[in-house]
Homo-oligomer: A and B are copies of this chain.
Amino acid sequence: MGLNENIRNNIRQVEPYIPGEQPQNKVIKLNTNENPYAPAPGVEQALQSMDLDRLRLYPDPTAELLTQSLADRYKVDKDQVFVGVGSDDVLSMCFLTFFNSDKPILFPDITYSFYKVWADLYRIPYECQKLDADFHICKEDYYKENGGVIFPNPNAPTAIYENLDFVEDIIRHNQDVIVIVDEAYIDFAGKSALELISKYDNLIVVQTFSKSRSMAGMRIGYAISNPTLIKYLNDVKYSFNSYTMNQTSLVCGAEAVKDETYFKETVNKIVETREWAKEQFKELGFEYPESQANFIFVTHPKLDAKQLFTALKKANIYVRYWGSERIEQYLRVTIGTKEEMETFFSFLRQYIAEHGGR
């Protein structure tokens, strides 16, 4: 349609993020870091016993049911918890609320691709800091003047986890700005930065229900920080949309948090499968940074990543491939069930037998 020029000039132009494919047919889906196990059984029960009449009313704008259950689980006060429609919503609200300086915010060059997108969307200046040759964050790069810092730990798509001393060094060197530690994958890794919340006023930790809690389909994320920063976040959220969390998310989210046994059991299964998968990859000649997430970032000295990606897709096995600078030869493989991974490795063995080298 030939759009009026004035209208077109006043439209916000963005480079939209392209999410991993969500195939509708039966495939082995190792491309978007979802959990291969269903949510906790209590979630199903919660859905089935939902009071339908409650749906005609607006949900509780403070989402207390959910913030309280997270507060109990993480031993903080409920006014230290902010919830949103997935951690994307939470992170985006953080960008909008806290990154209003003229100085650039800092984040790694290879990292979650949404950071750049939100910075562009909100016109926040930013400067990417190069990971080293082994894909590690160089903490000293974050010691210069800046408008804020954000990085995931473990980082994505590298899967590398940095220990808490490393994380604390970055926070301590940046007490003049907000530091966001994006812990989407922390439950598959090591210590969370949550224990630093009481020590540093400038720290926000963001986590999600989409990975370790098997609920990507429910869209629940949260930030934990001190009550002052959480209040600022809520002020912006209320000015944006007072009722972001629908009634089913509140009820199912609270239910999921309660079942610690199921949570540990499924996380452990994924970690076990990951460790086994690492051995399999190694045997087949793949290389990867040490993974502590629910995915492995692999490359093979003799196989072209793009060709392998395409061959896998043809065989109905989806993994993630970007083809962007420095990671053209890498694939990100989500840890599925043991059975899915066995099928995946059978394919790889066959593929390598047929396509020995690049």
Contact = CB atoms under 8 A, between A and B. Distances in A.
Contacts of A69: none
Contacts of A4: 175-176, 201-202
A133 interface: no
Contacts of A3: 201, 228-229
Contacts of A11: 97-98, 100, 232
Contact of A117 (B86, B239, B246): B239
A120 interface: yes
A108 interface: no
Contact of A34 (B48, B58, B227): B58
Contacts of A18: 238
A235 B218 CA distance: 22
A239 B16 contact: yes
Interface residues of A, number: 91
A147 B243 CA distance: 28
Nearest to A242: B19
A129 interface: no
A217 interface: yes
Contacts of A96: 12, 121
A61 B86 CA distance: 13
A216 B177 CA distance: 38
Of A19, A50, A56, the most chain B CB neighbours within 10 A belong to A56
Nearest to A14: B239
A147 B9 CA distance: 11
A346 interface: no
Given A22-B60, A38-B53, A47-B48, A178 B241 contact: no
The majority secondary structure among interface residues of chain A is loop
Interface in A4-27: 4, 6-7, 9-19, 22
Nearest to A62: B22
Contacts of A217: 54-59, 246-247
B243 A86 contact: yes
Given A10-B99, A99-B10, A17 B238 contact: yes
Given A3-B201, A85-B85, A55 B246 contact: no
Given A4-B175, A34-B58, A218-B247, 7 more contacts: A13-B235, A47-B47, A55-B252, A59-B217, A96-B121, A120-B239, A248-B249
Interface of A: 1, 3-4, 6-7, 9-19, 22, 29, 32, 34-39, 43-44, 47-48, 50, 52-61, 85-86, 88-89, 92, 96-101, 117-118, 120-121, 147-148, 175-178, 201-202, 210, 214-219, 226-229, 232, 234-236, 238-249, 252
10 contacts: A3-B229, A4-B175, A7-B177, A10-B101, A17-B239, A34-B58, A38-B55, A55-B218, A57-B216, A85-B241
